[in-house]
A and B are shown apart, each in its own frame.
Chain A
């Protein structure tokens, strides 16, 4: 109906977040925090609510979209009194691979070297074969050796900041939906 749109909540300069557009399928188990807007002739944007056509595939919980199982579901964008102003069909897919990228979107292809005191922020990317998936997953981070690297939260559910503390080597691993990705980190003086 071309009156409203759903995009992800992210800063304009956040390259990793800007890829989390729901034009990509949402990863099963992930949350998508939508930013809904409407452009209606002769009217400012009314109060809008989201409603899923098939909550077994894609649920609306506390304003977020939660991907439950593979499939497609319409998400209705309605006024508070129930008039649908638009809808969008969104897809949900399983995660088949996880990769790591820097915050600017640059994919991590090998080991990372850091000097003591430096830090780097890593973001896991979710894939269904060759297709990148959207959504914020619940990620579990761990490091093979506590000494050289500290893994710091930065407020995101999946993103982490690696802080180089003392010289040494460690392997950092992220696990999402039972699938892991790792990167070797060397800290030098």
Chain B
């Protein structure tokens, strides 16, 4: 019984965590992709694939723009994180107050060097872990190979 209660509590906690969304395009031939690692109880974490020298903008949402967003990188020499000012309004009042809006909360990740590291996204509403892989720039592709 205790295990079921614990599982429900973990599920509720996971559901209370913010969600992340990519807001920029990958340039041709380079990676800039954010995906959710989903489990039985929903999103467990995120994975980000980025090429060296490439940037991606990510917004944080939790029924509205995340408040008190703090993002840290375990290894800034591999993946650098910057605060971002993303000038768009997003709904912020939930179903009880649907007309309210707030400025989107965002950050930018830059691929600095090939390798793997983690980002820790913390807000007043919970946190997320982003597993980051920075890939080297692609070698010239053979015409017999297509990969994406």
A residues bordering B, Cβ < 8 Å? 1, 3, 40-43, 53-54, 57, 71-74, 76, 78-79, 82-85, 87, 89
Indicate whether B83 reaches chain A with its CB closer than 8 angstroms.
yes
Residues in A whose Cβ lies below 8 Å from that of B137: 71-72
- How distant is B21 from chain A, measured CB to nearest CB, in Å? 13
Verify B82–A74 contact, CB threshold 8 A.
Answer: no
Closest to B25 in A: A89
Stretch of B34-42, B50-58, B90-98 on the interface side: B50-58
5 A-B pairs closest in CB distance: A54-B53, A74-B55, A89-B27, A73-B53, A83-B85
Residues in B whose Cβ lies below 8 Å from that of A87: 24, 55, 57, 108
Closest to B53 in A: A54
Indicate whether B87 reaches chain A with its CB closer than 8 angstroms.
yes
Number of interface residues of B (CB under 8 A): 24
Closest to B23 in A: A1
Q: Contacts A1-B84, A83-B84, A84-B108; is A72 near B24 (CB within 8 Å)? A: no
Indicate whether B30 reaches chain A with its CB closer than 8 angstroms.
yes
Residues in A whose Cβ lies below 8 Å from that of B20: none
Verify B87–A3 contact, CB threshold 8 A.
Answer: yes
- Per-residue CB contact flags for chain B residues 9-32 toward chain A (1 = under 8 Å, else 0) read 000000000000001100101100
Residues in B whose Cβ lies below 8 Å from that of A41: 87
Select which of B53, B57, B87, B106 is within 8 A of A57 by beta carbon: B53
CA distance A74 to B27 in the complex (A): 10
Indicate whether B128 reaches chain A with its CB closer than 8 angstroms.
no
CA distance A84 to B24 in the complex (A): 13
Select which of B54, B84, B87, B106 is within 8 A of A74 by beta carbon: B54
Verify B82–A84 contact, CB threshold 8 A.
Answer: yes
Residues in A whose Cβ lies below 8 Å from that of B57: 1, 84, 87
Q: Contacts A1-B24, A87-B55, A89-B54; is A53 near B83 (CB within 8 Å)? A: no
Closest to A78 in B: B82
Verify A76–B53 contact, CB threshold 8 A.
Answer: no
CA distance A78 to B83 in the complex (A): 9
Residues in B whose Cβ lies below 8 Å from that of A43: 87
Residues in A whose Cβ lies below 8 Å from that of B29: 72
- How distant is A59 from chain B, measured CB to nearest CB, in Å? 12
